[in-house]
């Protein structure tokens, strides 16, 4: 679960080599090439990854907030929103990277 992963990363940062893996990934290499060739706007790679991770993980962490109290989301509605989000996140990331 996202909470487990976050807890492990906080408790044992040396075990979670995500930064090294991400920075050496094919995605990052493609991103750097796209920036150099001016296909996309310059963006700090770490900020981009923070945005992707935040957009992906935060809804799972915040689920209890949205599923409690007056006007709470049902489990079915939450799942619906997550399916919608799977389509929206790539659009949001593309918008962030568009040339100005």
Over the stretch 41-74, which tens digit does the pLDDT of each residue have? Answer: 898 888 888 898 889 888 988 888 888 888 889 9
H-only helix segments in the chain = 2-11, 18-23, 26-36, 45-66, 75-97
Question: Are 41 and 98 contacting, i.e. CB atoms less than 8 angstroms apart?
Answer: yes
Q: Report the distance separating Cα 68 and Cα 86, nearest Å.
A: 23
- How far is residue 12's CA from residue 4's CA, in Å, rounded to a whole number? 12
- Taking CA atoms, 25 is separated from 28, 65, 100, in Å, by 5, 34, 26
Instruction: Please give the mean pLDDT across all residues of the chain.
Output: 85
pTM for this one?
Answer: 0.72
Give the dihedral sign, CA 69/75/76/80: positive
pLDDT-based confidence at residue 100 (cuts at 50, 70, 90): low
pLDDT tens profile 67-88: 888 888 999 999 999 999 999 9
């Amino acid at each position: 679960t996202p909470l487990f992963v976050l807890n492990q990363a906080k408790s044992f940062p040396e075990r979670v080599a995500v930064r090294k893996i991400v920075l050496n990934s094919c995605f990052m290499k493609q991103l750097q090439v796209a920036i150099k060739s001016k296909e996309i706007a310059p963006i700090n790679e770490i900020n981009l990854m923070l945005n992707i991770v935040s957009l992906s993980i935060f809804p799972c962490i915040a689920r209890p907030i949205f599923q409690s109290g007056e006007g709470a989301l049902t489990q079915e509605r939450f799942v619906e929103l997550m399916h919608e989000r799977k389509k929206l996140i790539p659009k949001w990331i593309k918008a962030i990277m568009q040339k100005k």
